[in-house]
């Protein structure tokens, strides 16, 4: 197993440990390297042969593996020799539902991607809500497995009420930290911009994200230079 894969595994472990509400302690004991951040000079700081103590939802301390430290009672110790521990990565632009296309178009150009795999093509007629749900959920789990713990999803699977809700529900069910951003776009399947606005308003008021502590609602909008003033202002008002 490579150091990168090991790092990803330990990022995922930290993600679940920090997400636990119970005030339990876990010690990642003697990692080969801990990648941290020095806030004073804003630089990456690599600490070698270091242990990480997590208590509840807080990284309580970092200290040399050789140092003797009094630990909280009933601390779970995880041997970490030879491993790399890093903060979770942040993905600032994803289309998670399209994970269903993985391995299907490895030689696809950007232009071909838009015509074959985008929301404007066969996805509108071929993908059901269940397909979107599974693609979205798989994409999130794939991200977590790679050490990504925060995802901004440009959610352009919004070509029907069913598919919009499916992607949002998958984000909530995953337990990951996701900014699910509803995409407004001109579609050819009859789901108008007015339909999309009404769908967004409904989800903003009644969608499952309201019961989630990790999923937030947002807007994804690419047409600032294309749409007329009425549509642009409508989108601004929806955001407000």
Structural domain spans, the chain: 3-87, 90-239
**Close Cβ partners of 113 (under 8 Å, ≥ 6 residues apart):** 105
- The dihedral of CA 6, 9, 14, 17: what is its sign? negative
Banded model confidence at residue 175, pLDDT cuts 50, 70, 90: very high
Strand runs labelled E in 124-171: 148-155
pLDDT for the residue 27: 94
Q: What is the arithmetic mean of pLDDT over 194-216?
A: 96
Q: What is the arithmetic mean of pLDDT over 65-94?
A: 91
In this predicted structure, the answer to whether residue 4 has a pLDDT above a threshold of 50 is: no
Between 68 and 134, whose confidence is greater?
Answer: 134
pLDDT in tens, 116-139: 888 887 678 889 999 999 999 999
Banded model confidence at residue 115, pLDDT cuts 50, 70, 90: confident
Between 108 and 145, whose confidence is greater?
Answer: 145
What percent of the chain lies above the pLDDT cut of 70? 90
Q: Are 140 and 170 in contact (CB under 8 A)?
A: yes
In this predicted structure, the answer to whether residue 180 has a pLDDT above a threshold of 80 is: yes
Q: Are 97 and 136 in contact (CB under 8 A)?
A: yes
Banded model confidence at residue 69, pLDDT cuts 50, 70, 90: confident
Q: Which pTM was predicted?
A: 0.77
What percent of the chain lies above the pLDDT cut of 90? 69
In this predicted structure, the answer to whether residue 8 has a pLDDT above a threshold of 80 is: no
pLDDT for the residue 73: 87
**Close Cβ partners of 177 (under 8 Å, ≥ 6 residues apart):** 149, 150, 151, 214, 215
Banded model confidence at residue 43, pLDDT cuts 50, 70, 90: very high
Work out the burial of residue 70: count CB atoms within 10 Å of its CB; fewer than 13 is exposed, 13-18 middle, 19 or more buried.
Answer: exposed
Could you give the CA distance from residue 10 to residue 144 in angstroms, rounded to a whole number? 11
In this predicted structure, the answer to whether residue 20 has a pLDDT above a threshold of 50 is: no
Alpha helices by DSSP H, the chain: 3-19, 110-117, 123-126, 129-145, 161-174, 193-206, 229-239
- The dihedral of CA 144, 147, 150, 156: what is its sign? negative
pLDDT for the residue 10: 52
Q: Are 180 and 163 in contact (CB under 8 A)?
A: no
Mean pLDDT of the chain: 88
Which tokens belong to 202? 């409904």
In CATH, what number does 90-239 get?
A: 3.20.20.140
CATH architecture classification, 3-87: Roll (2.30)
**Close Cβ partners of 200 (under 8 Å, ≥ 6 residues apart):** 158, 182, 184, 219, 238
Strand runs labelled E in 95-223: 148-155, 177-183, 215-220
């Amino acid at each position: 197993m490579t150091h990168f894969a090991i790092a990803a595994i330990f990022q995922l472990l930290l993600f679940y440990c920090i997400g636990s509400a119970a005030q339990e302690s876990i010690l990642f004991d003697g990692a080969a390297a801990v990648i941290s951040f020095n806030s004073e000079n804003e630089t990456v700081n690599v600490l070698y042969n270091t242990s990480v103590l997590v208590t509840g939802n807080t990284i309580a301390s970092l200290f040399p593996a050789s140092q003797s430290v009094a630990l909280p009672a009933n601390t779970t110790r995880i041997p970490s020799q030879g491993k790399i521990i890093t903060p979770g990565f942040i993905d600032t632009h994803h289309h998670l539902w399209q994970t269903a296309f993985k391995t299907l178009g490895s030689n696809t150009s950007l232009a071909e991607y838009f015509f074959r795999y985008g929301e404007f093509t066969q996805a509108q007629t071929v993908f059901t809500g269940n397909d979107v749900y599974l693609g979205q959920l798989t994409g999130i789990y794939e991200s977590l497995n790679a050490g990504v713990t925060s995802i901004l999803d440009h959610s352009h699977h919004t070509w029907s009420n069913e598919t919009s809700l499916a992607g949002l529900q998958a984000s909530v069910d995953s337990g990951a930290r996701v900014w699910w951003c509803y995409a407004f776009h001109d579609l050819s399947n009859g789901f108008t911009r007015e339909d999309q606005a009404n769908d967004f308003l409904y989800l903003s008021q009644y969608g499952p994200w309201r019961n989630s502590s990790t999923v937030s609602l947002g807007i994804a909008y690419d047409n600032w230079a294309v749409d007329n003033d009425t549509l642009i202002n409508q989108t601004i008002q929806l955001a407000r």
